[in-house]
Structures are given as C-alpha cells and as structure tokens.
Amino acid sequence: MPEGSLFLDEDVRVLLAEVLRSRGYHATHVLEVNRTGKSDSEQLAYAAKNGMAVLTHNIRDYVVLHKGYQTAGKNHFGIIVSEQIPLSELLKRILKCLSANSKESLSNRLIWLQDYR
C-alpha cells in the first residue's frame, strides 16, 4: 500500500477520495468524518493531528496557513494545493505527486500540484 494519508478539503470532490482508496491510498474527505463547515485552520490542525497531508483548491488561505505554521514552528504533514481542474486531471496529478514524494518529503511543505502535470 502506498505511504502517507490525504485529507481532502470540502472544495475537493468526494469521489476523488473513493478513487484514491480504490488504488490503495489512504484518503479521507471532510464529509466522511463530519468536518464540514470547519475553518481552514481547524481542518489543517485536524489533518496534522492525524498525520495527513491536506489536498485543497483553497490556495490563498492555505498558503497563509502554511506560512503561519512555519513562523510558529508548528508541524503539518503537507499542504497540496491545486486550481480547480477536471477530476481526471486532478487524479493524474495527485497520483504523480504521491508517487514522487514520501510522507517525510511532504511534511511541512506547500506543494503546488501544477508542478505534477
């Protein structure tokens, strides 16, 4: 089974978590753990507490959160940001990203999914 876990933010389609799990990845969507309506900072804290990298389309807010974590010396397991793109392209890019990075290499990094075209 591939290493690492993903926590998909509200703005990412739930279907992506299902597809990733069918391919052997650990993926959880906020809807599946009753975390809808939580703030971005609460979602990131939850993901960090549970050892998961976040996948989101909310680029602006998560860039700010990442910088805040760096400044405060707090740790997270990665923030992967992507513009809104078709599900098939998002899947292709996230699979490339996950196959190119270990859980350790994602930790405390802001990853731009556009770099995995």
Provide the domain limits for residue 105: 5-116
Half-sphere exposure of 37 (CA within 13 A, CB side): 1
Number of domains present in the structure of the chain: 1
Give which of 89, 106, 15, 102 is closest to 53, Cα–Cα. 106
**Residue 2 reports pLDDT greater than 70:** no
* Residue range 16-33, pLDDT digits in tens: 999 999 999 999 999 999
- pTM for the full predicted model: 0.95
**Residue 115 reports pLDDT greater than 70:** yes
Q: Which CATH number fits the domain that encloses residue 82?
A: 3.40.50
Measured from the Cβ of residue 5, the count of other Cβ atoms closer than 10 Å reads 17
* Residue range 63-85, pLDDT digits in tens: 999 999 999 999 999 999 999 99
Query: Cα dist. 20→33, 38, 93, 109 in Å?
Result: 17, 23, 12, 21
What percentage of the chain reaches a pLDDT higher than 70? 97
